[in-house]
Amino acid sequence: MKLGDLVRYRGWSKTPVTAPARPQPLGIVIEQFSEDSSFHHRIRVMWLGDKPPIQASILSTQAGMITSWVAPAHFEVISESSKSD
List the pLDDT tens digit at each of the 85 positions of the chain: 889 999 998 876 665 666 556 678 899 999 999 888 888 999 999 999 888 788 888 888 776 789 999 999 889 999 887 766 5
Question: Domain boundaries in the chain?
Answer: 6-79
Cα–Cα distance between 8 and 24 in angstroms, integer?
A: 6
Q: pLDDT value at position 45?
A: 94
Q: pLDDT value at position 16?
A: 61
Cα–Cα distance between 5 and 20 in angstroms, integer?
A: 21
Q: pLDDT value at position 17?
A: 60
* Radius of gyration in angstroms for the set of CA atoms belonging to the chain, rounded to a whole number: 12
Q: pLDDT value at position 51?
A: 82
